Structure 1
Amino acid sequence: MTGLDGGTVLVTGGVRGVGRGVCAAFAGAGAHVVACARHEPQDPPAGVRFVRADIRDSGDLERLAAETGPVRAVVGNAGGSPPLRAAEGRARTHAKIIELNLTAQLLLARAFYGPLRDSGGTLTFIGSVGAVRPSPGTAAYAAAKAGLESLTASLAAEWAPEVRVNCVRAGMVRTERSALHFGDGRGLEAAGRAVPLGRPAEPREIGEACVFLASDAASYITGACLPVHGGGEPPSYPSARGAVDGSAHESAHGGDRKESGRDL
């Protein structure tokens, strides 16, 4: 038993990719799931109620909270970034990436603090391994995700014991947008082979971690960032040594595994 049966769970960005997997996991745990996004999907997730909302808009968030009603858990999943090097693109584009992935998450938390406090509920953010390692090509996104981990810890301390706040530090995930970062399917599979578990995550696997953090089984967990990355990406030094002696990389990883690409 998860303690989620019959409770309402809101998932932002819940109509595709990781968010869709999170919705499926909570629905499987017996929750009533509400998904929000800026645009109504043509194929909404089965058994999930959709509410249109832009989480960057405080007015939309107030309306979303009213339409959602009493809520047992909130998952802040909406976010992301196209590949964009730090010295390229418009300054406003970088600022909007940070706004979506960090500022909007604070607005979301504020909008749902009251309902979550009343229910003794949980707030879970979807973070990224980019928060704790260099992310060339997605610098603004990674910086925002680093800030999200700090926000998680601060909110957990401020809102305890009524609301538990945690973060899932996700690695690479197979979604319909993977090609933006990895090219065709072969690129994603090659990157996945560099992960100790040998593959990228499926969206529902991220969702199952969110279900755990929202469940009674995690009742003493708050302020945590749970790594869900298949063991993480290998460090660069085995590759550097392998280039010199031809053996260190193979010994370290049991085969010829190249370093993975960027997370999504």
Structure 2
Amino acid sequence: MASLARAALRPRCPSCTWATIRLGLGLHVQNWRPLQQEQLRTKSKAAREAERNIVVKLRLDVPRFGRKGSYVPIAPAMMRNKWFPFRWADYVPPLEMKRLKAEGVTMARDPEFGVQRALAEVDDEEENLLMPRAPYVRPVEIDMLTPERSMELLTTFIPPTIDFTRQPIEQEKADMGRLRQGASDAADILTAAAMSKRTQSDTTGIYGSVSTADVAVTIRKALAHNDEAARVLLSENDVRFVEGQAEGDATRVKQLGSFKIEIMAPGADRPITRTVRVRAKE
């Protein structure tokens, strides 16, 4: 019963507990509570960030941080994701850090370094100095040839005759097939005799054709063997058949023989003349 009575007399709240301590011990602890609150005060955000930062050595001048070779504290995430991959700074080993602290080397950021203090408005590019720069791509410089020089190179490297080979159309079989329809044996004999007297000068058609595009490709292959001549700009529009063109199409020939063509570089005054020879494929 006595224990239950003592338990009932115990204070139930912090205020009663402090009053009991003062009365029982006679201690003056009025100033203890503020001291306790002072010790339990949390650290500031700047202090917490300073403890998390690491010291790195700059490999180049970084505006708002410091010169090349300086030791500055930065966030580990910034060093890991940007500064170290772009080779802006290096990590400082623990032994070197210990030596630097012993020598009293300054390890602080210089926010005024590289900042222009002009009266004019600050350019927006200054804010992007820490951003990764795109690699510089040198523009391609093409030394264009003059029309006169192009014509000189064409005259030098294009031979007088440009040869092509095509499969000829067999005229004898075609004619015999047409004459045999409703013809007599005597007519066939006369037709065969007449065909045997044909000379090589007769016009012979070919399968396909030889076009100005074919001629331009052949000319460019001939020019490719010389560095300067390879820079001549020539297209199929710069080649023209003077004779032997196919009916309805002036850009191609469809028969065996030799045909004159004109070649003129863009901007030139006069064309040069060459011969295209179409021979039968053996």
Question: Considering the TM-score relative to the shorter chain, is it more than 0.5?
Answer: no
What's the TM-score bracket when you normalise by the shorter of the two chains? under 0.3
Q: TM-score, normalised by structure 2?
A: 0.19
Query: Which structure exhibits the higher relative contact order, with contacts defined as CA atoms closer than 8 Å and separated by 6 or more residues?
Result: 1
Structure of greater Rg: 2
Q: TM-score, normalised by structure 1?
A: 0.20
Give the structure with the higher percent helix.
1
